[in-house]
Homo-oligomer: A and B are copies of this chain.
Amino acid sequence: MKFCSNCGSPIQHGELPGEHLPRYYCAVCGTIHYENPKVIVGCLPIWEDKVMLCKRGIEPQYGLWNIPGGFMENDETVEEGAVREMTEETGGNVRVLGLHTIYNVLPVNQVHLHFLVELVDLNYSLTEESIDIQLFKEEEIPWREIAFASSRFALKRYFADRQQGLRQTHVGTYKTR
């Protein structure tokens, strides 16, 4: 961030009265430019005793397996965003079962929310974002080829919950200090 998005002047960075953290701000028009974490919304799709994974057709982590997800947009709920990402990446039809995981990814300032969803049918298909889509039993999961820590967290917690007959929401963090 180098220029004020309100007036185009070069911006400053430092302490400000009333602010407990250093901020980017514009000394010309007075605008404070806050930076906050972004929300990633996604789904863990279930079919019978299997979960759906998608092989990523885009960077980052091209060619690795993932559960569907992406940046939450304005004007949508977390649930709507999760289902939208599911549709964009797989074309699949789902029923939302509940919020499954919240996962902090501190190095990139993201909060990942994954909903547990069940596939309504097997009408899904490859998309620009997914170069392969497969259903995996627990013992078939390619653990070493999972794209993101939040997906691994969601999968691990799902299988542990299933074994105990539980359905609950989990909170986790990548890179705890």
Contact = CB atoms under 8 A, between A and B. Distances in A.
Contact of A36 (B6, B33, B73, B173): B73
Given A79-B171, A99-B102, A171-B79, A36 B74 contact: yes
Contacts of A168: 168-169
A20 B88 CA distance: 10
Interface residues of A, number: 43
Interface in A105-162: 106, 109, 111, 113
A78 B8 contact: no
Given A39-B39, A106-B77, A111-B78, A4 B6 contact: no
16 contacts: A1-B5, A1-B6, A2-B8, A3-B8, A4-B5, A5-B11, A5-B33, A8-B8, A8-B9, A34-B71, A35-B74, A36-B71, A36-B72, A76-B106, A78-B102, A78-B171
A38 interface: yes
A5 B2 contact: yes
Contact of A106 (B20, B75, B88, B176): B75
Interface string A8-34: 111100000000110000000000011
Contacts of A113: 102
Contact of A3 (B4, B34, B39): B4
Contacts of A173: 77
Choose among A34, A109, A171 the residue with the greatest number of B CB atoms under 10 Å from its CB.
A171
Nearest to A115: B171
A39 B38 CA distance: 8
Interface in A40-99: 71-79, 88, 98-99
